[in-house]
Chain A
Amino acid sequence: MFDFETLRLIWWFLLGFLLAGFAIFDGFDFGVAALLPWIARTDSERRVVINTIGPVWEGNQGWIILGAGAIFAAFPPLYGASFSGFYLALIGLLFSMILRPGGFKYRSKLQSPTWRSLWDHLLFVGGVVPALLFGVAVGNVLEGAPFHFDEWHRLFYEGHFLSLLNPFALLCGLVSVSMLVSHGAIYLVNKTDGVINARAKQIASIGSLVTIVLFALGGLWVAFGIQGYVVTGGGAWDGPSNPFTKTVALHAGAWLTNYVTYPWMILAPVLGFGGAVMTVRLVRSARPMWAFISSGSSIFGIVSTAGVSMFPFLMPSSSNPNQSLTVFDASSSHDTLMIMLISTAIFMPIILLYTAWVFKVMRGTVSGQYIDENSHSVY
């Protein structure tokens, strides 16, 4: 039905869609959890905040399962390279995410304030650490990671965890944290009333402004601070998935050339900035739902900006640039991409449909009164 080249491009788009979906949906869980100890002071306030995401966080986690699964199925070499290369970062991510079920399910089962406060702080870790590490990972991918393959395509990674925490990557981490914290705050604006609502509005406005500044700073750094990668030869778009068949060069500012070659790509950063600006304007409006939508659009734009800037690269190699992974030499076979596309075309609309239904059923604000009345059944 589709040729190999087209399928690879479709899957590159789908990957962006799924990762943006992850950032938007799991993102507000991370943001809310990161805000928990700061935005809610009393136990009742904290239970309100936790219960705003209580009914949906597990479903939202579906996006990371699906995102990782899609990388595995559609770009297997990328899966092995990024997950084993950024090993300790991924382990840290897992550990922090594994803390979350306790924070939701176990926290309010005991009365002890120490117990509850402990879980509140673990929830905070489970929110802020993933948000930071995902940004750091994207930063390192933009810089290129030190890896090479041997003749059996076995990957050898030459860097170490601490080198992941370099200044540019940390800036990307901060973009991610501020973007998701603002997003979480806007979610709380929609889901709470009273004092939490007022605090959330303030955080959302400031957070969105910080995101705009940090994102712009990141753009400048990409333009003048780090080198981008360019395919200089080979690398046929419909060739076998073998990262040994091309040559790659590094140039300062090369990550911006795509915006000249493919002018439509400029839409991504425009959406990133525009969405954040709109968020600031809308957060105090009568319909905060629109602020949530524009914040989601901003996240979609920011995530896409990283993706389109690197096209066709998925994960460049800094130590052996010719073996960088691209959309066209790190994909699955034609048949697997086709099978996965059909599955996605069938199930993605169904997922969106029932997710929308669940959000509709659970609509409305969570109040202190609601928590008191359902003290035993809510988190």
Chain B
Amino acid sequence: MMDIDVVSLARLQFAATALYHFLFVPLTLGLSVILGIMETTYFITKRPIWRDLTKFWGVLFGINFAMGVATGLTMEFQFGTNWAYYSHYVGDIFGAPLAIEGLMAFFLEATFVGVFFFGWDRMSRGAHLFVTWMVALGSNLSALWILIANGWMQHPVGATFNFETMRMEVSNFYDVLFNPTAQAKFVHVISAGYVTGSLFVLGVSAFYLLTRRNVDFAKRSITVAAAFGLCASLSVVVLGDESGYTAEENQRMKVAAVEGMWNTEPAPAGFNVVAIPDAQNHTNSFEVKIPWLLGLIATRSVTEPVPGINELVAVNEQRVRDGIKAYAALEVLRKDSTNPEARATLQQYQAGLGYALLLSKYTKDIPNATNEMISKAAWDTVPDVLPLFWTFRFMVALGIFFIGLFAVAFWLVVKKRLDGSRGFLRLALFSIPLPWVSSELGWFVAEYGRQPWCIDGILPTRLGASSLTTSDMWLSLGGFLILYSTLLIVELYLMVRTIRKGPEDYFKPHLASTPALAAAK
């Protein structure tokens, strides 16, 4: 039905361009709010240094923002170019949040960001403050709608299959909007963005303190970053836990894989801190467990069991069998769309249809699939346990590290002991890349853990791709890698250069030109 190489290339391209896009997004999310906080302080205190702070961090924000916008375009287009069948099959539901993102969020941030940079001398302080907050609001709303779309892929609610159009159609948009998975993901992702922005400001300011430059500037920046970062890092872990809780309800298989939990354990389940999963024999060859912990996180109770992989596979095998009935009914309906019996069967077993589609890997004749094929298809619903298990643990460890880092920063700010803590300042400086690492790991867990599905339980990944040639796919993938790598190098170079030159370089000519501007007015 589908050339697997094209699918692999499409997945690779999506992964590469999404991870690349997410190098820019978290900093936009976090820094936009930090700019808002700084400029609000300027508005209240009227001290010019806060205006300079806003402007300087704004320069770094701008270098990053433009790339986020440009690479975001790729993400939207990619559903049409590389995932055409996906676009057809779920566009009725999935397209709406993307379009509303454009209407409500992207336009807002992108229109106001120009005025943020160019409008300082063209409007009142209050008007400019409004502009800055509109940029922050737009960025954050943008994340909301994208995560509503993404949340629906993880936990598809409010949609039903329509055999007349051969696709999923919206049945309850309210459910799509208030999808608990989407809400939890939204809070988790924006908190991660706030951590990224805070640690960026903290680390760069630490660099200035270490080199004894721009001390006032750096200390004020750290005050904002430490307070905001502490709240954000607590939120990202606590609400990441919320995300685990909703995943447990909706995506049991992902949780079981992330935890390396092959068999259902008596409640409350233990949490594997360390394990070596063995996918061949469906067990862990080594594990260290904290009793009770997983049961508490995942079910918020001590009596409910967390189902293991082996048990979930058995459930999914039944789903494949149900799906075969739905699939057979669909074939009848294609010839005779009014057949009442087939309509009723499809209605009854609709939830399994996606599971039956997993069989397309093994046979063209799905209604007559053998028991062996069905068992294989059921086992295909288990994602790769080993990489998920470990990336998840690295992410969590980093999350906990951030809480510690910001707590210390906050304490040093309150005690006014930043200057003497060179060890801490160095740690903060070298920690700058870590939030990016944890964000990328988080996306890996979320999306790789969703496999083998494009849309959980509805559309297998291997069916979602466009019917393209591998040569076209290689061409585009190669082009993206070259273009994106070059731009990233340029971006990093300019970022580092701007930071090294520092605000003193940036404001010299600005201050010199102020009388001229005043005269011109």
Contact flag A84-B118 (CB < 8 Å), given A94-B74, A100-B70, A333-B170 = no
Contact mask for chain A residues 33-65; partner B; CB cutoff 8 A; 1 contact, 0 none: 000000000000000000000111111011011
Q: Which of B91-129 contact A (CB under 8 A)?
A: 91-96, 98-104, 106-108, 110-115, 117-120, 122-123
How many interface residues does chain B have, given as a range? 35 or more
Tell me the nearest residue of chain A to B145, going by C-beta. Answer: A69
Q: B387 on the interface (CB 8 Å rule)?
A: no
Report whether B479 and A76 are in contact in the complex, using a CB–CB cutoff of 8 Å: no
Find chain A residues with CB under 8 A from B76 CB. Answer: 65, 68-69, 72
Kindly identify which residue among A58, A74, A154, A157 contacts B111, using a CB–CB cutoff of 8 Å.
Answer: A58
In the complex, A378 Cα to B509 Cα: how many Å?
12
Number of A-B pairs, beta carbon distance below 8 Å:
262
Tell me what chain B mostly uses at the interface: helix, strand, loop, or mixed: helix
Contact assessment for B115 and A362 in the assembled complex, using a CB-CB cutoff below 8 Å: yes
B476 within 8 A of A: yes
Whether B73 and A64, one on each chain, are in contact in the complex, defined by CB atoms closer than 8 angstroms, is yes
Known: A58-B110, A80-B87, A105-B66. A376 touches B81 (CB 8 A): no
B396 at the interface (CB under 8 A from A): no
Q: Mark A335-379, 1 if CB is under 8 A from B, else 0.
A: 110011001100110010011001001100000000001111110
The yes or no answer to A98 lying at the interface (CB within 8 A) is yes
**B69: chain A residues within 8 A (beta carbon):** 58, 61, 101
Are the C-beta atoms of B101 and A354 separated by less than 8 Å? no
Give the CA-CA distance A104 to B92 in the complex, in Å: 36
Contacting A at CB under 8 A, from B52-107, are 55, 62-63, 65-67, 69-74, 76-77, 79-88, 91-96, 98-104, 106-107
Residue contact A87 to B468, C-beta cutoff 8 Å: yes
Given contacts A55-B117, A343-B100, A354-B108, contact A73 B467 (CB under 8 A): no
Contacting residues of chain A (78-95) with chain B, CB-CB under 8 angstroms: 79-84, 87-88, 90-91, 94-95
Question: Other than the known A61-B73, A373-B513, what 15 A-B pairs have Cβ atoms closer than 8 Å?
Answer: A58-B69, A62-B106, A65-B102, A79-B87, A80-B87, A80-B466, A87-B81, A95-B483, A109-B497, A155-B88, A332-B91, A336-B93, A340-B99, A362-B118, A362-B119
Interface residues of chain B, those whose CB is within 8 Å of chain A, are 1, 55, 62-63, 65-67, 69-74, 76-77, 79-88, 91-96, 98-104, 106-108, 110-115, 117-120, 122-123, 134, 162, 164-167, 169-171, 173, 334, 466-468, 472, 475-476, 479, 483, 487, 490-491, 494, 497-498, 506, 509-510, 513, 516-517, 520
Q: Which 10 A-B pairs rank lowest in CB-CB distance, beginning with the nearest?
A: A76-B91, A83-B80, A101-B66, A80-B84, A73-B95, A59-B111, A69-B99, A55-B114, A72-B95, A84-B84
24 contacts between A and B (CB under 8 A): A54-B117, A61-B69, A69-B101, A72-B95, A79-B87, A80-B87, A80-B91, A81-B84, A83-B79, A94-B73, A98-B74, A106-B490, A110-B494, A151-B334, A154-B467, A155-B88, A241-B165, A332-B91, A332-B95, A333-B170, A348-B103, A351-B107, A354-B111, A377-B55
